[in-house]
Amino acid sequence: MLYIAPSLLAADFSDLKTDIARVEAAGANYLHLDVMDGHFVPNISFGAGLISSIRRSTNLFFDVHLMISNPLKYADSFIKAGADILTFHYEAVKDPMAVMQAIKEKEIPCGIAISPKTPADAVYPFIGKGLANMILVMTVEPGFGGQSLIPECLDKVRLIRRFAMQQGLDLNIEVDGGINGENAAYCIEAGANILVAGSAIFKTKHPRVVVQQMREAYKNKPFLV
Ligand code: DX5
Ligand code: ZN
């Protein structure tokens, strides 16, 4: 199944409730929440307080992308705020396996994200039964919305999809950064089944058209792995 995850970073922060309702009505399944600490990435976004406020206004699945240096320290506050999955960066921590296990022990699904310079095989140890619930392959350098997709990052999606399939696993692979209605087909073809799109969905007058374009791409292109 294809999941479409608009990134709140591109929403109108003066009227989040209306903007979230708009993307929900357009057919999105997830709300992608980019948490940035100004340390792991050179930008600051929002934290658990904002997430818990918007939790009351939508039933969308809260896909929390932690671009922070100490994910474990804040995990409980994001769970309490209403996160449905916590994804942390492989590059942010010394022992990603221990962090993943500690998050999973809190009975919340855990994803692992890799930035463009991190090779695909870095996440292979986390792929298997009882391990990561999702792999997030960044298609831009983390930190800012509105950048252009780096096509080489899709090669990593292909490798990770192939690795998971060899083990008979139906792994969730998310791509994030510069994704729009036009390039969604390439992401899907590479093996992604969760598409994050900030600017392309929040900043258009017709989010439903973009969502439909993405869903069409999924119908038409089986995985070429
Ligand atoms: C970048 C974030 C992305 C970003 C996507 O660090 O992780 O989720 O908001 O925004 P667009 O789709 O505008 O590139
Ligand atoms: Zn993100």
| Per-residue pLDDT tens over the stretch 107-143 | 999 999 999 999 999 999 999 999 999 999 999 999 9
Residue 222 has pLDDT above 90, yes or no: no
Query: Which residue's alpha carbon is at the smallest distance from atom 4 of ligand 1?
Result: 145
What pLDDT score does 225 carry?
A: 47
Ligand at shortest distance from the CA of 197: 1
Q: Which of 4, 8, 9 gets mutated to test ligand 1 (max ligand atoms within 8 A of its CB)?
A: 9
Query: DSSP secondary structure string, 52-121?
Result: HHHHTT--SEEEEEEESS-HHHHHHHHHHHT-SEEEEEGGG-S-HHHHHHHHHHTTS-EEEEE-TTS-GG
Percent of the chain scoring above 70 in pLDDT: 98
Note if 176 is an active site residue. yes
Which numbered atom of ligand 1 lies nearest the CA of 32?
8
Residue 165 CA: distances (Å) to CA of 5, 28, 56, 160: 23, 26, 38, 9
Give residue ranges with CB within 6 A of ligand 1. 7, 9-10, 32, 34, 65, 140, 142-147, 176-179, 196-200
Say if CB 42 and CB 4 are below 8 A apart: no
Q: What is the pLDDT of residue 220?
A: 83
**What mean pLDDT do residues 30-58 have?**
98
34 is catalytic: yes
Checking if the pLDDT of 223 tops 60, the result is no
User: pTM for the whole thing?
Assistant: 0.98
* Percent of the chain whose predicted confidence (pLDDT) is above 90: 97
Q: Each residue of 52-111: pLDDT tens digit?
A: 999 999 999 999 999 999 999 999 999 999 999 999 999 999 999 999 999 999 999 999
**Span from the CA of 177 to the centroid of ligand 2 (angstroms):** 7
Q: How far apart are the CA of 162 and the centre of ligand 2, in A?
A: 23
Q: What is the layout of strands, in order, in the sheet containing 172-176? A: 3-6, 194-197, 172-176, 134-138, 110-114, 85-89, 61-67, 30-36
